[in-house]
Amino acid sequence: MRIAIIGAGAMGSLFGGFLSKTAELHLIRRSEEHVRAIREHGLIIEKNDGSAQTFHPSATTNPKDISAGIDLALIFTKSYDTESAAHIAKSLLRQDGIALTLQNGMGNLEIIENIIGRGGRAVAGVTSHGATMLAPGRVRHAGVGTTTIAMLPGKEILLSDIVKTFESAGIPVSLTENADNLIWGKLIINVGINALTAILRVQNGILGITPQCEKIMACAVEEAVAVANASGIAIPYPSPLEQVKKVCAATAKNRASMLQDILNSRQTEISVINQAIVRKGQELGIPTPCNCFLSDIIEALEATSEHRIR
């Protein structure tokens, strides 16, 4: 199977390293330093116990270096880069290939479908694996979790091949009939974790063991669940807050993507996570003050990054 990973940051590199064992794998990332390090020294994936493994996927900053005819375009970019990633996927995919988004937040699948076409061209999935970028060419596998992909009518054979390829690479995958429930389930996890870790500058595990943090986390999750219920979404786990705490424990040493963005003075994905809950709440007449406040703080952190006292 030929796979292109568009957006080879921490998560894209993690999946790319593993998948390079079982597929023709191409990483695409804008960072020349990261690509150069992979080309010269390989991609090093470090575990929490300090052990490490080196992989040698193809890596480039220029999608034109990859010949067309890709079976799977796996999109891991930030949400604000989804449109450009979709155009890259369209240029690389074979006629009956598919694009798979494992991104955070809401709205990515719709953007991708608008560009590469509907009717079996794109599919959404979620993963609760955690990864942290340590240095160019080096990432930490900071949390092991599940990966789920939505079913796609007419693509059963290709999806079966994708599942087999992922599982052969050590990434267990399950398929689901309901993409909306899948995306909302991951969104609620992100709502409870990402902004709070970025504001407090702590690893995921701290949230679930600190009562003062859990109080805020519970408020944000409760609002998101209320909005989901009003939207007719069936949350895919019985206790959303307990599920968020489980993910915190499973990815205890992970630096959430939003925390990594704040630490590196980058734009975050707050608009498709906590702010998505606020917008949907406004449409439905459901108050979401906690998510609104978390969103405002993250935006303030973004706006003042140049003036931060170090």
Task: Give the catalytic positions in this structure.
Answer: 186
Q: If we measure between CA atoms, which residue out of 154, 132, 153, 133 comes closest to residue 143?
A: 132
User: What 3-state DSSP class applies to 54?
Assistant: strand
Beta-strand ranges (E) seen in the chain are: 2-6, 24-28, 43-47, 52-55, 58-60, 70-75, 93-101, 122-127, 130-135, 138-143, 147-150, 173-176
Give the integer Cα–Cα distance in Å for 192 and 224.
9
The residues pairing with 98 across neighbouring beta strands, listed in sequence order, are 72
User: What 3-state DSSP class applies to 302?
Assistant: helix
- Give Cα separations from 143 to 68, 105, 126, 139, 249 (angstroms): 33, 19, 14, 12, 9
Alpha carbon distance, N-terminus to C-terminus of the chain: 47
Structure tokens at 154: 């007419």
